[in-house]
Structure 1
Amino acid sequence: MSENHENMTDQENAMCDITIVHQDILDKVKKEITDDDTLYNMAGIFKVLSDPTRLKIINALMLSEMCVCDIAALLNMSKPAISHHLKSLRQTHLIKYRRDGKIAYYSLNDAHIKMMFDLCITHIKK
């Protein structure tokens, strides 16, 4: 049997054979489901994190606070390209910066960012 045929069979088996609404489950889920604004913000974070370069930046900032020049040298990219990625990461509150004279140093906004990164790696490797 071909792989495509097996996948179609799996999809067919995953569908219900009858139409029935389990009202008790529906009521519980409606009461507890995450609100649309929060889901919209989550989607924005996942969209920003869907770029491998941004993930590399997050990974680097997990290890050390860095300036644009450091990140550009690490990733072998131009400073304007890195600045573009940093802007996206800042807008979603994944990173923050502090100024020291003319230099801006970037770091993770909080410990949750590292936790998300680590959880994703754990999920991939399981």
Structure 2
Amino acid sequence: MAKAEDKCEIWAVDEEKVAKTKARLPSDETFMILAETFSALADSNRAKILHSLADQELCVCDVACVVGISESAISQHLRILRTLRLVKQRKEGRMMYYSLADEHIRQLLETCLDHSRHH
């Protein structure tokens, strides 16, 4: 239930502002992808994985050592991150290497970390 300080005391819609704002909204699909991305970042191990990959490519074993959880758990997290197109993989011989999918992921992570540090 909303508290009194969380809502207007009277109901008065500025139709021009509402219409203008609605026109600028991305599609529902875009917001679903955004929510999935933030959901992935909501897990501290996945956030650590992304941070670990921010400046370098690492194999699954290296990521497991950095994050401090089992290789099996890392593989599950990496599968989720790969499905969401946040990381990409490359196989070399018997080794599987991961890196961030693109610069946007690095920027998003840096922005979120900066925000976290200011609390």
Q: TM-score, normalised by structure 2?
A: 0.91
Partners of 1:72 and 1:52 in 2: how far apart? 14
Q: Which runs of 4+ in 1 moved over 3 A?
A: none
Residue equivalent to 1:125: 117
Instruction: Output the aligned Cα RMSD.
Output: 1.5
Structure 2 unaligned residues grouped into runs of 5+: none
Quick one: distance in 2 between partners of 1:125 and 1:67?
28
Mapped to 2, the partners of 1:78 and 1:103 lie a distance apart of 16
Structure 1 alignment gaps of length 5 or more: 1-7
Q: How does 1:6-85 map to 2 (within 5 A)?
A: 11-85=3-77
CA distance, structure 2, for counterparts of residue 73 and residue 15 of structure 1: 48
What residue in structure 1 maps to residue 97 of structure 2? 105
Q: CA deviation at 1:14?
A: 3.7
Partners in 1 of 2:113 and 2:95 — Cα distance?
Answer: 32
Task: Tell me the TM-score normalised to structure 1 length.
Answer: 0.86
Q: Which has the larger radius of gyration?
A: 1
Give aligned pairs, total: 117
